[in-house]
Amino acid sequence: MQSLKDAKVTQSIMKRKLILVNLAGPALREFRDFLSETHPLVDVNTEDEAIRLIDKQHDSISAILFDLEQCKRNSFSLQRQLEADKRFVGIPNIAVTTNSSETDYLDCLNAGANEYIEPPFRKELILLRINNAIKSKDSATFSEVERMLRELPSNIYLKDAEGKYVFATHYWHHLHTENDPTWTIRGKTDLEIRTDKENAKKAMESDMEMLRTGKGTTYVIEEKGENGSEYLELIKRPTHDENGNVNGIVAIINNVTEMQTMRLELEKRSKTDSLTGLLNKQATEEQIKELIESNANCKGALLMIDVDKFKYINDTFGHAVGDKVLLSIGNIILDSFKGMDVKGRIGGDEFMVFLRDIKNAETSVRLATKILDRARALFPNEPVGQFISLSIGIALYPEHNQNFEGLYRAADKALYKVKEHGRGFINLYSE
């Protein structure tokens, strides 16, 4: 029993024309009659006329049927022209004769014909052979297009209505299928073939959403493999059947590692203090605000840190030594706090740290004391070492304020009290 899918394919084939080259003799009247029941027929008298017509209307033509005797007289030039021109690669050419000859059959197929029809002309058999030739040629065209697409560096793939691969021009690096000629991606899912299961799961979820809504999507993923990470841009679009229903996905994967790495580096530079490697002022404040807004129930502490008498250090020992001091303090801050904490340099000799998920005020004071002691121990064998100390003001979140601006003011007031009373120690904000 013919499936609904096969029926739709056959219906699509039947809408297109059959070109008949010099097939108007009395012996072919019945043959032409049952062809006309399924396809529009267009008669031409010469092969040149056929080529001109195909050139203009190749998208609306199902097949070309030609008189075998005429093609033999012309040394099968029509077949050679059809084989040589890529535009006609999907159009089968079918020999028709009123005589039966085994030699003619072989000569015809060797010259490039796709089918050979001879008496008796039984309707069902002839229509089946013509439709099979059309489908076979369509399949050959698909394979040829696939081979051509493999020449591109991008991976182009097709998936069916269940999100399973139909074909892909390139395979994932980790598959190592080059030594197994029988391996195929056809019928497999992303979870079956990709080592990065998290990205595979996201890809399948994205596919199901597209098949449901019919809306395409474009995104970039970081794919972690044996040789490190690479960034891939995926451009996905739904495919449709003759009735406009979504029946699959066509997509292209571009390797954008170099571009994405450059973009991330530029983004990092735009957020990073060039001397210390800490966040700059804008990025520090943005990240703290984001943390506060997205974690309303967390406990935190904002540390305002100043390098004491830094102008004197610069003026006395020179800017190179001053930069060395700032870099060393930046390294202490980077090394002393968790990766989740926000660490930044917000001015010439000013630093800011936001501690996440602290248990109590004592924890913030203990951590601040740690960097205070490490700063005092810098450069013990150099003259500048005796002048290095830090002043630190601390405000707690949410006890002292529930937004960044208020918290900043509280920590700044706590720092001012330190500066006012001799520098070199820690002060926790208090009303």
DSSP string, 121-184: --HHHHHHHHHHHHHHHHHHHHHHHHHHHTTSSSEEEEE-TTS-EEEESS--GGG--TT-TT--
Contact 172, 194 (CB under 8 A): yes
pLDDT of residue 85: 72
For the segment 126-139, the average pLDDT, to the nearest whole number, is: 79
201 pLDDT above the threshold of 70: yes
pLDDT of residue 411: 96
Per residue in 62-83, is it b (16+ CB within 10 Å) or e — as a string? bbbbbbbeebeeeebebbebbe
Q: Which residue is it, tokens 């003799």?
A: 25
- pLDDT mean across residues, the chain: 85
pLDDT of residue 2: 45
pLDDT of residue 215: 94
- Band of the pLDDT at 196, cuts 50, 70, 90? confident
Alpha-carbon span 233 to 228, nearest angstrom: 17
139 pLDDT above the threshold of 50: yes
Which of the listed ranges 93-107, 177-191, 198-212 does the model predict with the highest average pLDDT?
A: 198-212
266 pLDDT above the threshold of 60: yes
Alpha-carbon span 46 to 24, nearest angstrom: 12
pLDDT of residue 333: 94
pLDDT of residue 172: 65
Angle at 417 between CA 343 and CA 327, to 5 degrees: 30
pLDDT of residue 185: 84
pLDDT of residue 422: 86
270 pLDDT above the threshold of 80: yes
Short-list 339, 313, 319, 301, CA closest to 428 = 301
For the segment 194-203, the average pLDDT, to the nearest whole number, is: 86
162 pLDDT above the threshold of 50: yes
For the segment 286-315, the average pLDDT, to the nearest whole number, is: 90
173 pLDDT above the threshold of 90: no
pLDDT of residue 30: 87
For the segment 183-190, the average pLDDT, to the nearest whole number, is: 86
If DSSP codes are grouped into helix, strand and coil, which group holds residue 416?
Answer: helix
For the segment 206-210, the average pLDDT, to the nearest whole number, is: 93
How would you class 412 by CB atoms within 10 Å of its CB: exposed for 0-12, middle for 13-18, buried for 19 or more?
middle
Domains of the chain: 4-140 (3.40.50.2300), 155-261 (3.30.450.20), 272-428 (3.30.70.270)
72 pLDDT above the threshold of 50: yes
Note the pLDDT tens digit of each residue in 358-413. Answer: 888 999 999 999 999 999 999 999 999 999 999 999 999 999 998 999 999 999 99
If DSSP codes are grouped into helix, strand and coil, which group holds residue 409?
Answer: helix
- Band of the pLDDT at 425, cuts 50, 70, 90? very high
pLDDT of residue 282: 93
User: Model-level pTM?
Assistant: 0.51
122 pLDDT above the threshold of 50: yes
Distance of CA 58 to the CA centre of its chain: 34
pLDDT of residue 317: 95
pLDDT of residue 132: 83
pLDDT of residue 168: 86
Contact 237, 216 (CB under 8 A): yes
Alpha-carbon span 298 to 323, nearest angstrom: 35
User: What 3 state SS string does 61-86 have?
Assistant: EEEEEEEHHHHHHCCCHHHHHHHHCH
For the segment 103-123, the average pLDDT, to the nearest whole number, is: 82
pLDDT of residue 177: 64
Non-local CB neighbours of 280 within 8 Å, separated by 6+ positions:
271, 272, 273, 344, 345, 346
How many C-beta neighbours within 10 Å does residue 224 have? 13
Note the pLDDT tens digit of each residue in 217-263. Answer: 999 988 876 677 888 899 999 999 878 899 999 999 898 888 888 88
Least confident of 97-101, 122-126, 150-154, 178-182: 178-182
If DSSP codes are grouped into helix, strand and coil, which group holds residue 326?
Answer: helix
96 pLDDT above the threshold of 70: yes
If DSSP codes are grouped into helix, strand and coil, which group holds residue 380?
Answer: coil
For the segment 85-106, the average pLDDT, to the nearest whole number, is: 78
Contact 190, 200 (CB under 8 A): yes
